[in-house]
Chains A and B, each alone.
Chain A
Amino acid sequence: MNLEELRGKLFYQTGYLAAVALLTTAALALADRATSADIAAAQARDMQQSLAQVLPGVYDNDLLKDTLTLDGPNGEVTVYRARKAGKVEAVVFKVSGNGYAGAIDCMMGLTRDGHITGVRVIRHKETPGLGDKIETAKGRWIYDFDGKYLGSPPHEKWAVKKDGGVFDQFAGATITPRGVVKAVKSGLDFFDKQRSKLLDDRS
């Protein structure tokens, strides 16, 4: 049987498609093996960078390995802990709020007495030119949180000015900063509630 005849046969077509699927799957499996270590390393580097941004200073442990998983405001939260001589000095974790176009994910760092060391937006889908001023590349707004804690400003003032709080909103975009402020506030409440577990040096 030559190729012309063969191509019309059902078993040939089925076999051909199966063979292509097998080969491409094998290629993908190989590619995954070849790249997964490098991808994991690159993601760990990214994580380290975002941790370093919200938590300046030198600590003597590897934050990425010193984690704790607790129940937070939106499901489980992975907390990265920074220590000096075994004592937990600061914690970093992720919080989310609702923006104008979906969730806004932030990393926030807190010292052991609950002061904010930094907040950074790591993922958002806000409108370019309006809502994206929450990025450090586009504006300085996010630095407003530095040094603040629950009490300064007081609990009910953790809101944008339009809602009677102390944080600025942007011209044309209130929902975005409101989402970020709410996210940060939820993080502070979470810290407050779980403080004893978070700061337990032995765990």
Chain B
Amino acid sequence: MNKKPFIISAAVAMTFALWSCGSNSGNTAQNKNKAIDMEATGEFEVADITAAPNVPAPVGKRGPKKLIVNLETTEIEAIIADTFSYTFWTFNNIVPGSFIRVREGDEIQLNLKNAENSILPHNIDLHAVNGPGGGAEATFASPGQEASFTFKALNPGLYVYHCAAPPVPQHIGNGMYGLILVEPEGGLEPVDKEFYIMQGEFYAKPTSRSPKLLEFDNDKGNDENPTYVLFNGKKGSMLGPNMLEAKVGDKIRLFVGNGGPNLVSSFHVIGEIFDNVYTEGGSTVSHNVQTTLIPAGGATIVEFTVEVPGEYNIVDHSLSRTFNKGALGKIKVTGDANPKVFKKN
């Protein structure tokens, strides 16, 4: 009940925290300052954005530009698994939402339109933004309304964006998330294949209208007990004819996000070792990693070269999710056998 000592100790702790941040701020602060001073040139142009598993072309060596990103929030029914449909809430009618690719120093005008036939208000919080709510308050739009804000990309990295309208777990749980990549000056090193994958879990129950049409179940959400754990919003999104494809010798880069809303992913590709992992989507690169954690509301970039032909399973190695709840994708690698690396005896 007596809050004073608590407040004082909190204040002291905060001062220390600020102080210690200040004393070893190093790279991040330098990057940020540098990016603030980068001048975005030219007129605003509409950015190329893509649906998973595709990503837009790399930024390469270009300088900072002015880009417009148009997103529409919608509420739609689509197949989630087998013969079941789900009432998804989306950015641009897809789960995950469109992949946005920019470089540090870019000036981005984000236009959010909430569809006329939406039932609820929506908005967007981009984790790549330095500013209040990541844009959430600036873009809070009633059905049929449009909202817009402009931000400068300061920190290179891979970031989640999501709807932050109340009730937030429901909006995210219905599929309102996507990724924005901020490439460093000079761009990421070129690779042979790049793909966009986003994990998210769905807490489903039948609607009153049809047992085959599912909707968000708040009780399951509170219990963090999902019905489905999926890559790219649909069971089998990367299976059968939708398998990702590569050739022996290809260097593959996966941009992997985790929308959550709750679960943490143990991301793993069966039969491969990640040569590089940009831990939590940031600037620290780890090597020779088998499984990497992706927090809810976080992302990672993994890179690996495929040496042997075959099918490689993309999984959440918290394996009940893969074997029982749908978190499975595949990369099909074609090319010549490579007995030096792998052969069956």
The reply to whether chain A is a binding partner of chain B is no
Interface residues of B, Cβ cutoff 8 Å to A: none
Interface residues of A, Cβ cutoff 8 Å to B: none
